[in-house]
């Protein structure tokens, strides 16, 4: 375990208070996201980094643990299409995301008009909102600048 680790005992207490068993995998994932603070990570990335810290855990366990932590409110998920999500520590601060589909860069924003409208729109459709975060996907300025529109054609 790295020395900067935020007390695993306190993480374990918090997990148990939320009714989770507090398995080693749950502690490892939550500890990682707490140390990473404002990061947004895919399940694969979280899995890879925890493995690099020396903890053994398979990818399907990482997915299962992330779902448990999202359900318990410790972790927030940023849905990017049907089978892809990013995960971040749930700080209780409502915000939305801008995601570059080329480099994967994530920026956060919050806009009171969007916050209000999304509730109004969901209500109109009789939709009970479960996921609250919005992810706008596109190509960031830096990636757009790297694209050469006049690429020579290969014959």
Instruction: Report the C-alpha gap between 46 and 44 in whole angstroms.
Output: 6
Element (H, E) at 78: strand 75-79
CB closer to Zn ion out of 8 and 104? 104
Scanning the structure block, which residue is given the tokens 């749950």?
26
∠ at Cα 54 (85, 40), nearest 5°? 25
Cβ–Cβ under 8 Å, residues 134 and 96 = yes
Choices 47-55, 85-93, 111-119, 122-130; region in contact with Zn ion by CB under 5 A = 85-93
Among 51, 57, 79, 108, binds Zn ion (CB under 5 A): 108
Instruction: Report the C-alpha gap between 123 and 78 in whole angstroms.
Output: 21
Does 88 help bind Zn ion (rule: CB under 5 A)? yes
The site for Zn ion, by CB under 5 A, has a size of 8
**Per CB under 5 A, which of residues 116..145 are in contact with Zn ion?**
140, 143
CB closer to Zn ion out of 13 and 142? 142
**Smallest distance, Zn ion to C-beta of residue 149, A:** 17
Does 90 help bind Zn ion (rule: CB under 5 A)? no
Does 100 help bind Zn ion (rule: CB under 5 A)? yes
Beta bridge mates, 99:
106, 137
Which residues of the chain form contacts with Zn ion (CB under 5 A)? 88, 100, 102-103, 105, 108, 140, 143
């Amino acid at each position: 375990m790295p020395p900067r680790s935020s007390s695993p005992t306190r993480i374990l207490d918090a997990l148990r208070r939320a009714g989770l068993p507090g398995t080693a995998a749950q502690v490892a994932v939550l500890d990682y996201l707490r140390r990473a603070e404002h990061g947004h990570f895919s399940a694969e990335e979280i899995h890879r980094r925890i493995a690099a810290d020396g903890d053994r855990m398979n990818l399907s366990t990482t997915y299962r643990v992330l779902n448990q932590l999202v359900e318990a409110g410790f972790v927030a998920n940023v849905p990017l299409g049907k089978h892809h999500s990013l995960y971040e520590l749930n700080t209780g601060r409502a915000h939305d995301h801008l995601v570059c589909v080329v480099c994967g860069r994530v920026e956060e924003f919050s806009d009171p008009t969007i916050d209000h409208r999304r509730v109004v729109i969901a209500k109109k459709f009789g939709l009970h909102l479960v996921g609250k975060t919005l992810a706008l996907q596109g190509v960031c300025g830096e990636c757009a600048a790297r694209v050469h529109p006049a690429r020579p054609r290969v014959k």
